[in-house]
Amino acid sequence: MSEHIQDQIRTKELLLVDNEGCTRARLGSDESGGVTLNFFDSKASSRAKIGILPDGKATVSLSRADGSSHFCLLVDEEGHSLMIGYDNDGVERFKLDIQGNGSHTELSFSDKNKKPRMVMMSEDRGPAGLFILDHHGKALFTTIP
């Protein structure tokens, strides 16, 4: 018996369900113009997402069981890239920021109060440096005089 294969299926949303009928993945667009493929765990929490945001940024996001972001990667249309990691309280703890044209790269680590504590950066035309800061933002160590 031959199955009929459709050349095209048009829908606003596609849901994949497990044997119990629980949604485990959703592919769809939203009212604001974004489109995502979202994966859910067995408790219906969003755990992994890949998509295009309404502003055109490509995104990959991995989340904790409560659905809050833990790791996020964003790339805009010009190639500006951000990689961000969060702790269990949702506080940004590290960020890698790479300009699309490569003119600036920065890696920063923050404390639980969202204050940068260590920053490494490089510029195409200009200094490269390492900065270690106290909890007030005062430089304890820097490679730039």
Q: Quick one: which of 11, 40, 35 has its CA closest to 23?
A: 40
Map out the domains of the chain as residue ranges.
10-58, 78-145
Chain segment 66-121, per-residue pLDDT in tens: 878 899 999 998 889 999 999 999 899 999 999 877 788 999 999 999 999 999 99
Q: Tell whether the model's pLDDT for residue 43 goes beyond 80.
A: yes
Chain segment 85-96, per-residue pLDDT in tens: 999 998 999 999
Sequence-distant contacts of 113-119: CB under 8 A, at least 24 apart: none
Q: Is 65 exposed, middle or buried (0-12, 13-18, 19+ CB in 10 A)?
A: exposed
User: Average of pLDDT values for 11-38?
Assistant: 94
Model confidence pTM above 0.85? no
Average predicted confidence (pLDDT) for the chain: 91
Write down the pLDDT at residue 1: 61
Q: Is 75 exposed, middle or buried (0-12, 13-18, 19+ CB in 10 A)?
A: middle
- State the residue for tokens 């859910």: 40
Write down the pLDDT at residue 13: 94
